[in-house]
Amino acid sequence: MSDQLLIRELQNGNTRAFHELVNTYQQLVYNTVLSMVQQAAEAEDIAQEVFIQVFRSIGKFRGDSQLGTWIYRIAVRKAIDWERRKKLRSRIQVLVSWLGVQDTAAAQETFYHPGIVLEQKERAAQLFKAMKALPEKQRICFVLIRVEGLSYAQAAEVMELSVKAVESLMQRAKENLRKLLES
């Protein structure tokens, strides 16, 4: 089914069209979110939230971009929102621990992306840890281009930036990752 027909069917409330949408974009959404949040269970929850958002918002979809680009945009925003909430919860836990109410000294797990070959897992874990230290826009750009394989033009559309801005973000992301991985 073409994207135009799929959009029309979704806007008409066709549940089969929604199942086709999920089947088509499920892995893309999950992998993108997983690369950003680096926790499988959270990535699954966020991916579900993405499709709920798509279903609720499809009536507002104007067709200014491709359907996949619009879905990527929602996935990236949901992952960013999750990270912001996580940081807030972390700050609250630190405050609570300072007050002596709770101990927050939990060991942080090493993240392994499921698409990485076994012998490369340790290097990949170091890369994903370094990616977490990148500024938000650089990390999003790096994930979309290097992890998800989008072109610079596609990443620019998802991020709602110019191609030049994405090229600049990517260059800075690579430089920052190089510095982080050397130290």
pLDDT for 21 beyond 50 = yes
pLDDT of residue 121: 65
pLDDT for 97 beyond 60 = no
State the Cα–Cα distance between residues 143 and 149, nearest whole angstrom: 8
Asked if 170 and 152 touch (Cβ cutoff 8 Å), the reply is: yes
Enumerate the domain spans of the chain.
1-83, 111-183
* Second-level CATH architecture of 1-83: Orthogonal Bundle (1.10)
State the Cα–Cα distance between residues 61 and 57, nearest whole angstrom: 7
Q: What is the pLDDT of residues 26-82, one digit of tens each?
A: 999 999 999 888 889 999 999 999 999 999 999 888 878 889 999 999 999 999 888
Structure-derived torsion over alpha carbons of residues 172, 34, 48, 89, reported in degrees to the nearest 10:
-80
* Second-level CATH architecture of 111-183: Orthogonal Bundle (1.10)
Query: What is the SS3 string spanning the chain?
Result: CCHHHHHHHHHCCCHHHHHHHHHHHHHHHHHHHHHHHCCHHHHHHHHHHHHHHHHHHHHHCCCCCCHHHHHHHHHHHHHHHHHHHHHHHHHHHHHHHHCCCCCCCCCCCCCCCCCCCHHHHHHHHHHHHHHHHCCHHHHHHHHHHHHCCCCHHHHHHHHCCCHHHHHHHHHHHHHHHHHHHHC
> What is the distance between the terminal CA atoms of the chain, rounded to a whole angstrom?
49
pLDDT of residue 102: 45
